[in-house]
Structure 1
Amino acid sequence: MVLVVSEEVREAIETRRPVVALESTIIAHGLPRPRNLRVALELEEAVRGEGAVPATVAVLDGRPLIGLDKAQLERVANDGGVRKLGHRDLPFAVAARASGATTVSATARLAALAGIRVFATGGLGGVHREWTVTQDESADLGLLARTGITVVCAGVKSILDVPATLQRLETLGVAVAGYGTDRFPGFYLSDSGHPVDWTLRSPEEVAEVMRAQDALGAAESALIVANPVPEAEQLDPGLHARVLDEALTACAERGVTGQAVTPFLLDHLVRHTDGASLRANLAAVRGNVRLGARIATAWARG
């Protein structure tokens, strides 16, 4: 098998101990150095603190790695040549012996292949604004429609078209539940302004849904557990609305289109909120990682 699973992760999977997959794009491309490495180590420690095994995923020299040691984490954090890999890029990266950090779609794909059932991340990709013109939609959605993994996230970023994303997930048959809420979170915000149909209130309830998916033959698609950032740690909604509106206007005025839109908007949010959006981002990721470990523990109890 092309996958390289660390000894710690392999033993945990084989003995049904809880394992949580973690993406590496946040390390390589989401945070400035040296903060990125500190956060990577912190997130792994948070998983261990909840009694689970972290499995950070990346591709190094063409080898998809499930579970990184410290030297490998340092390489992902510090090597400027590490690419950003979606699941469609994986065959190219393996064949070319390239190195890359895995996005949500690539992490979910590789983690599921390794037999990991729980994946914790920040936020999902989704349907972009002006989709009727651009047809721009994240590869995350289609991949999750055919991958049996539970994804703990803080919803989707508010720069996206949230209602269209929810509609697309429904069309694709991807199960979505709010964790402790009947509202879909907006990543930086506790509430995107849109409802969800189902609410789960404990890791044990999430694990029961996962078991029901298996019993019903529905585990070929993902379960999204949308865990809102605490209100005390969210980006101020008024500031968020103002800065996002300014960012969208600047994007249109400068003619930014296609794949350049998302990084442009995110960079604008970070710079014009004095880093508050980044702090909300990290608060969301930390909460998701801890919850992911608790869900993995409940699932492992079987």
Structure 2
Amino acid sequence: MKELNQYLDVAPEVKKALEEGRPVVALESTIISHGMPYPQNVETALEVERLVRESGAVPATIAVIGGRLRAGLSKEEIDHLGKKGHGVAKVSRRDLAVVCARGMDGATTVTTTMIIAHMAGIEVFATGGVGGVHRGAETTMDVSADLEELAQTPVMVICAGAKSILDLGLTLEYLETRGVPVLGYQTQELPAFYTRHSGFAVDYEVDSPEELARVFHTKREMGLSGGVLVGNPIPEEYSMDKAVIDQAIDQALAEADEQGIHGKECTPFLLAKVAELTGGDSLDSNIRLVFNNVVLGAKTAVALRALEG
């Protein structure tokens, strides 16, 4: 990562925490610009940072600003990304060089948040959901870059599972092939983002932030490459009815197909359409599951710092 470090700026608060060995949690910015409408996106992002601090860690919202990779943003920069919305480039690994060379702003996906977090020395990243193998991938070859990043970049990613617009079974198969441990936090099933149950088993159930920290620490100590994926189910009171969400997803997929929407525009379209079809219930669930994940992320980062001394 040395070649990339010349393009990296770490916010003073985050840099000081890392130098002092205090826990830091990485947060993505695609959820700000592409995941929710303004002003809910900015309100959610600032509340997420507050929850991380309240839980004992330092938040590091990650993005590309003016061609610079940034670990830690100001409130003004978060508001800028929120207001600009889809006008901000959605940046995956393939986009980084172009966006930086052109001095552009970019919202980081799970993939690029992992890359920049690792460059900065941040080990725990909390988000909403990860990408995966898309339905119909046997013909389209549409597989999220998130899965490849998990296979090579040593960051623990805490999420509410893979988005239920994806093929969850194939996503788990892909992760197994690439050697990525998939852990369920107090569950034996991979959460399905809006709902707690998918019917697909995780590799191992883990019961505490301390155990999550031990698994990640041990994996690194053994010299095993890649990250760890943690599925943290949405709280019961915010979980949506599986039949309702599945019907909305099927309709959204059909409309995406009719309109020829594919590639990196597919997920934002599907999430927006599902929110529309559920009368906004899915957006509320999305916000609540993010809050739930960042609190677990902060507790895990605290446990990891205690373990590593």
SS at match of 2:34: helix
CA distance in 2 between partners of 1:38 and 1:285 (Å): 13
Structure 1: unaligned runs, 5 residues or longer: none
1:173-209 Cα offsets, whole Å, 9 max, x none, are 1111000000100001101111112011101001110
Q: Is the 8 A contact 1:134 1:258 kept in 2?
A: no
Give the match for residue 289 of structure 1.
294
Mapped pair 1:226 → 2:231: yes
Mapped contact 1:190–1:229 kept (Cα < 8 A): yes
The within-5 A match list for 1:15-164 is 15-80=20-85, 81-164=87-170
Q: How many residues align?
A: 301
Deviation at 1:30, TM superposition (A): 1.1
SS of structure 1 residue aligned to 2:154: coil
Q: CA deviation at 1:215?
A: 1.9
Q: 2:183–2:202: 8 Å Cα contact kept in structure 1?
A: yes
Deviations 1:85-121 (CA, angstroms, capped at 9, x unpaired): 1122111111111111111101000000110000000
Q: 1:45 to 1:136 in 2, by over 3 A?
A: same
Asked whether the equivalents of residues 126 and 161 of structure 1 are also in contact (C-alpha less than 8 Å), the reply is yes
Distance 1:271 1:258, change over 3 A: same
TM-score, structure 1 as length reference: 0.96
| Kept after mapping to 1: 8 A contact 2:34/2:268 | no
1:250 positional shift: 3.5
1:244 Cα deviation after fit: 2.2
Matches of 1:37 and 1:256, distance apart in 2: 26
Structure 2: gaps of 5 or more residues: 1-5
SS in 2 for 1:42: helix
Structure 1 pair 248–27 and aligned structure 2 pair: CA distance change class (3 A): closer
SS at match of 1:127: coil
Q: Which residue of 2 aligns with 1:197?
A: 203
Aligned-pair distance for 1:77?
1.5
1:260-281 deviations in Å (ceiling 9; x for gaps):
4433332221111001111111
Q: Residue 249 of structure 1: CA displacement?
A: 3.5
| Alignment correspondent of 1:237 | 242
Which deviates the most, 146-155 or 254-263? 254-263
Please give the alpha-carbon distance, in whole angstroms, between the structure 2 residues aligned to 1:31 and 1:263: 9
Give the direction of change, closer, same or farther, for the CA distance of 1:107–1:259 in structure 2 (3 Å limit): closer
Superposition deviation, residue 259 in structure 1: 4.4
CA distance in 2, matches of 1:10, 1:256: 40
2:267 maps to a residue whose letter is T
- Taking only the aligned residue pairs, the percentage that are identical comes to 48
CA distance in 2, matches of 1:296, 1:248: 37
Tell whether the 8 Å contact from 2:25 to 2:52 is kept in structure 1 after alignment. Answer: yes
